[in-house]
Amino acid sequence: MLEAQSILEVAVAAPVMGVFDYRAPHTTDGPLQPGQRVRVPFGRGTRLGWLVGSKAASDLPEHRLRRVLSVLDAEPLLPPDLLRMLVWASRYYQQPLGEVLGAALPKALREGRDIAQGEMHWALSAEGRSADPDILRRAPAQLRIHAALRACAAPATAADLEVVSSNWRRALAALAARGWITAGRATAVLPIADIAPDRPPVLTADQVQAVAQINAAQGFQCFLLDGVTGSGKTEVYLRCIAQALAANRQSLVLVPEIGLTPQLLERFQRRFPVPIALLHSGLSDGERLRAFTAASDGSAAIIIGTRSAIFAPLLRPGLVIADEEHDPSYKQQEGWRYSARDLAVWRARELGVPLVLGSATPSLETIENAHSGRYTRLVLASRTGAAGQPRVSLIDLRQHAAREGLTQPLLAAIRRHLDAGGQVLIYLNRRGYAPVLMCPACGHVLECKRCDARMVLHQQRGQLACHHCGSERPVPAACPDCAGELKAVGQGTERLERALAAAFPDQQIERIDRDTTRRRGEIERRLNRVRKEEARILMGTQMLTKGHDFPRVTLVGIVDADQGLFGSDFRSAERLAQSFIQVAGRAGRAEHPGEVCLQTLFPEHPLLRVLISEGYAQFATLALEERRQAGWPPFACLALLRAEASQRPQVFSFLQAAAALAREHAPAGLNVLGPAAAPMERRAGRYRGQLLLQATSRRELQQLLPAWRAAVASIESQRRVRWSLDVDPVDLF
Ligand code: ADP
Ligand code: ZN
């Protein structure tokens, strides 16, 4: 509780660091508590803010202290654990607290609206219960409603009464007039799915071990659940959630992609007849608010969500899970650039509950944390079904010419698996028809006018599109320089689909990439056609590698294994290894043995060799050793200052000034690298540059950041650039 006589500290919803001092409002309805929203005068207007603390005196002179205008919430919107985490995160990420708090709340609350009002519901009053319904003889609708309410154990909602009588509102009003009805509002009614329950399988020995260790955790403990795809990680989550439910505790489950939530939701609903809240970016503001409220008032027993669900307030927390913890989409890439996976560690610690990080391809950071003993590693060594690990073969593109991207051995393998009744998955992580459109006569390549990038040919739409800034233009009929005929070079999924259709004219092909799944629900429709085996050839981009379960896929074909083999980012090898293992893991789940074919120009490449012959764990060991020697994370901590402007010199004069300030303040051992141009220097018509800070420890980096950020914010030229600071960047561009 905060002292109303003292000075209140308010985080204001504005892009400014620090908290502001205010005097308490003249009158309040209840006690002042951290986490309540307030309205305050700010500049010449008013702003929303959050009470975060109080103190005896302000540094400001008395006459400059302004007063809180009003308190919006009777109870704090943010529980203390969440508030503490966000205050910490604001400092760690050097992001204004008001913006951090705003990012953590549904839009409706950020805009000052009230917490969700639950649905109305009705029940019989004591009088209504003991009354003799015979006097309703002449009012059949009232009679039916009365009988229905008497029959239900829980209060009835509008939907319940609608079924009883279409005239229910009038009948209900008449009963209420007799004093027979009590009305209320549910805190936030979440439906419990009406779905056939599943029968839990008998756990494997590895699963038993994992479940026992997690369930034995006393308070906070962090687990890495390291299990190959199909080894039953989700089943382990379900068992731990069951224990949490039995103890009347909530579980928070993070998944990287919105596409994964429907599948997972159904699996959870089959197991648990309890209210489950979903939190993801596809919700309307109202739905999001309801899910937030249901988490907060405890009516949701399980909360499943993507990145921002890490901010769900929990009334009775028991367990936090982050599935596919290696997935880069846990990192927010604009505005406040937090990592939901990293915040999950803080959150679970604040809540005093166990955290489970699951993956078939854990991030190197997490593996290192397990090595050092900070996390407990739990291994699920083999798949649950009879399938075993898929057999992998390389197809050497120097020996087998590809036509339209497909070699004879790959085509033969596809035919073989289709003939045997299997499904095949063909992976190419490049959408569009072709990545390059060029003129063979003069060498002209069609490029984006606003980016340092080539235009991608989208033949079906008749457009050239830039995948970086989104600009599009019609495909020219001929070379703009020499009027020669243009040629599409390379493969995208659109072209590959056509090639597959030509090779397998009797097969339906399901292509899944961002172009074919723009419409709401489209991805689910396509996946369903695959699950029902209406389509036997499934193809597409990265979207396919994300946790979807295709029990009848027996062959995975990787069309271009060399994509990303020579990437410039220090994480490219890790990313490549992860997507390779993840897509290969789609082959041969359940009872069907699998095969993976990959086409490559570099069959001797050490990365491919290690992955194929020794597996991800060995790859990770080698990659970690390289990181250690090169001084990259997890053996270093990074912060990246990005800047962009319409003119190149503005970017560099700002970054040079920032670099000079960093060198001036830097503790020994902290490297200031750059400034340098971004790997793609011009994007959407703006020039981009960056400065990298590389420290040997978090503490060292955190020592520099607050003062340095403040100094950067007051560089004279900062007004002419757009800049942002990214602590623990996942991409160096
Ligand atoms: P993961 O999450 O590691 O990919 P899942 O939990 O989805 O693995 O399990 C893969 C498949 O194996 C699912 O169809 C699941 O129902 C099944 N499964 C999981 N555990 C067992 C078990 N102990 N016995 C039999 N089948 C299991
Ligand atoms: Zn562009």
**Protein residue with least CA distance to atom 27, ligand 1:** 384
Is residue 323 in contact with ligand 1, taking CB distance under 6 Å? no
Rounded to an integer, what distance in angstroms lies between the CA atom of residue 251 and that of residue 274?
A: 12
Q: Is 726 helix (H, G, I), strand (E, B) or coil?
A: strand
Tell me the ligand closest to 381's alpha carbon: 1
187 pLDDT more than 70: no
- Ligand 1 atom closest to residue 238's alpha carbon, by position in its atom list: 6
Whether the pLDDT of residue 206 is over 90: the answer is: yes
Ligand 1, pocket-test mutation among 203, 206, 207, 235, most atoms within 8 A of CB: 235
Query: Ligand 1: which residue has its CA nearest to atom 19?
Result: 232
Residue 4 confidence (pLDDT): 61
CB of 50 closer than 8 Å to CB of 36: yes
At 700, is the pLDDT very low, low, confident or very high (cuts 50, 70, 90)? Answer: very high
Beta bridge partners of 183: 122
Q: Which ligand is nearest to the CA of 466?
A: 2
* Ligand 1 atom closest to the CA of 234, numbered from 1: 6
Give the pLDDT score at 426: 96
Is the CB of residue 230 below 6 angstroms from any atom belonging to ligand 1? yes
Q: Which ligand is nearest to the CA of 465?
A: 2
Q: Which atom of ligand 1 is nearest to the CA of 547?
A: 4
Identify the band that residue 589 occupies on the pLDDT scale cut at 50, 70 and 90: low
Kindly report the average pLDDT of the chain as a whole number.
91
Ligand nearest to the Cα of 450, by number: 2
Closest CA to ligand 1's atom 5: 232
Q: How far is the CA of 196 from the centre of ligand 1 (A)?
A: 18
CB of residue 207 inside a 6 A radius of ligand 1? yes
> Which residue's C-alpha comes closest to atom 18 of ligand 1?
232
Instruction: Decide if domain 7-104 falls under CATH 3.40.50.2000.
Output: no
pLDDT number for residue 127: 87
User: In degrees to the nearest 10, what's the CA dihedral of 264, 268, 269, 272?
Assistant: -170
**Ligand in nearest proximity to the CA of 547:** 1
Q: How far is the CA of 262 from the centre of ligand 1 (A)?
A: 17
- The CATH class, in words, for 637-727 is alpha beta
Residue 464 CA: which ligand is closest?
Answer: 2
Judged by its nearest atom, the ligand closest to the C-alpha of residue 472 is 2
Q: Measured in angstroms, how far is the CA atom of residue 563 from the centroid of ligand 2?
A: 21
Highest mean pLDDT pick, 60-69, 288-297, 387-396, 634-643: 634-643
Task: Indicate whether residue 201 lines ligand 1 (CB < 6 A).
Answer: yes
Ligand 1 center–CA 423 separation, angstroms: 20
Neighbours of ion ligand 2 (CB under 5 A): 448, 450-451, 466, 468-469
Where in the chain are the domains?
7-104, 119-186, 205-380, 391-432+491-624, 637-727
What's residue 183's pLDDT?
77
Q: How remote is the CA of residue 578 from the centroid of ligand 2, in Å?
A: 28
Distance CA 530, CA 515 (A): 18
Q: Quick: pLDDT tens for 221-276.
A: 999 999 988 889 999 999 999 999 999 999 999 999 876 677 788 899 999 999 99
Residue 332 DSSP one-character state: -
pLDDT value of residue 1: 67
Structure tokens at 21: 């001092």
Nearest residue to 444 (alpha-carbon basis) of 482, 491, 488, 490: 482
Mean pLDDT of 397-401: 95
The pLDDT assigned to 248 comes to 94
**In the prediction, which pLDDT does 185 show?**
65
CA 715, CA 598: separation in Å to the nearest integer?
51
- Give the number of the atom of ligand 1 that is nearest the alpha carbon of residue 203: 23
Ligand 1 atom with the shortest distance to the CA of 204: 23
Question: Lowest-confidence range among 304-313, 351-360, 406-415, 523-532?
Answer: 523-532
What's the 305 CA to ligand 1 centre distance in angstroms? 21
Is the domain 391-432+491-624 a CATH 3.40.50.300 member? yes
Establish whether residue 379 lines the binding site of ligand 1, counting it when its CB lies within 6 angstroms of any ligand atom: no
Question: Where does the pLDDT of residue 386 fall: very low under 50, low under 70, confident under 90, or very high at 90 and above?
Answer: low
**Same CATH fold, 637-727 and 7-104?**
no
The residue to which tokens 């007063």 are assigned: 67
SS3 content of the chain, % helix, strand, coil (to 5): 35, 25, 40
Q: Say what the alpha-carbon torsion angle 704, 708, 710, 713 is, to the nearest 10 degrees.
A: -150
Ligand 1 atom nearest 207 alpha carbon: 23
| pLDDT tens per residue across span 135-170 | 888 898 999 999 989 887 677 878 788 888 888 888
Question: Angle at Cα 539 formed by Cα 534 and Cα 541, nearest 5°?
Answer: 140
Whether residue 571 has pLDDT greater than 80: yes
19 has a pLDDT exceeding 70? yes
Residue 720: predicted pLDDT: 92
Q: Whose CA is nearest to atom 4 of ligand 1?
A: 230
- Say yes or no to pLDDT of 374 above 70: yes
Nearest-CA residue for ligand 1 atom 6 is 232
**pLDDT at residue 611 above 80?**
yes
Q: What are phi and psi of 358, to 5 degrees?
A: -110, 145
Q: For the segment 547-567, what is each residue's pLDDT rounded down to a tens digit? A: 677 888 999 999 998 887 877
Ligand 1 pocket check for 536: Cβ under 6 Å: no
Q: Is the CB of 200 under 6 A from ligand 1?
A: no
Distance 482 CA to ligand 2 centre (A): 23
Query: For 105-140, how does the pLDDT look when each residue is reduced to its tens digit (9 = 90+)?
Result: 988 888 887 776 656 778 888 888 888 888 888 898
Ligand 1 atom nearest to CA at 551: 14
Contacts 24+ apart (CB under 8 A), 464-468: 464/437, 465/432, 467/431, 467/432, 468/680, 468/683, 468/684
Ligand 1 contact via 582 beta carbon (within 6 Å) = no
Question: Which of ligand 1's atoms lies nearest the C-alpha of 229?
Answer: 4
pLDDT per position as a tens digit, 404-448: 999 999 999 999 999 999 999 999 999 999 999 999 999 999 999
Q: In angstroms, rounded to a whole number, what is the distance separating the alpha carbons of residues 51 and 37?
A: 6
Verify whether ligand 1 is closer than 6 Å to residue 227 (CB atom).
Answer: yes
**DSSP, residue by residue, 453-484:** SBPEEETTTTEEE-TTT--EEEPPSS-TTT-P
Residue 658 CA, ligand 2 centroid: distance in Å:
28
pLDDT, tens digit, for every residue of 320-370? Answer: 999 999 999 999 998 999 999 999 999 999 999 999 999 999 999 999 999
* pLDDT band at 730; cut points 50, 70, 90: very high
Count of residues making up the chain: 733
Residue 387's pLDDT is: 60
Of the candidate CATH numbers 3.40.50.300, 3.30.450.40, 2.60.40.10, 3.30.70.930, the domain formed by 205-380 belongs to 3.40.50.300
C-beta of 234 in contact with ligand 1 (< 6 A): yes
| Ligand 1: residue whose CA is nearest its atom 20 | 232
pLDDT of residue 118: 58
Ligand showing the shortest atom-to-Cα distance for residue 361: 1
Q: Which three-class secondary structure string do you get for 593-635? A: CCEEEEEECCCCCHHHHHHHHHCHHHHHHHHHHHHHHHCCCCC
**Nearest alpha carbon, ligand 1 atom 23:** 203
Say if ligand 1 is within 6 A of residue 18 CB: no
pLDDT at 667: 86
199, 234, 238, 545, best to mutate for ligand 1 pocket (most atoms within 8 Å of CB): 234
Residue of 1, 8, 11, 2 lying closest to 89 (CA atoms): 11
pLDDT digits (tens, 9 = 90+) for 459-511: 999 999 999 999 999 999 999 999 999 999 999 999 999 999 999 999 999 99
Q: What order do you get walking across the sheet with 463-465 strand by strand?
A: 456-458, 463-465, 472-474
**Pocket of ligand 1 contains residue 229 by CB under 6 Å:** yes
Any atom of ligand 1 within 6 Å of the Cβ of 231? yes
Ligand 1 atom closest to Cα of 235? 6
Whether residue 189 is predicted with pLDDT greater than 60 in this model: the reply is no
- Note the pLDDT of residue 691: 97
The pair phi, psi for residue 157, each rounded to 5°, is -100, 175
Percent of the chain past pLDDT 70, that is, above it, reads 96
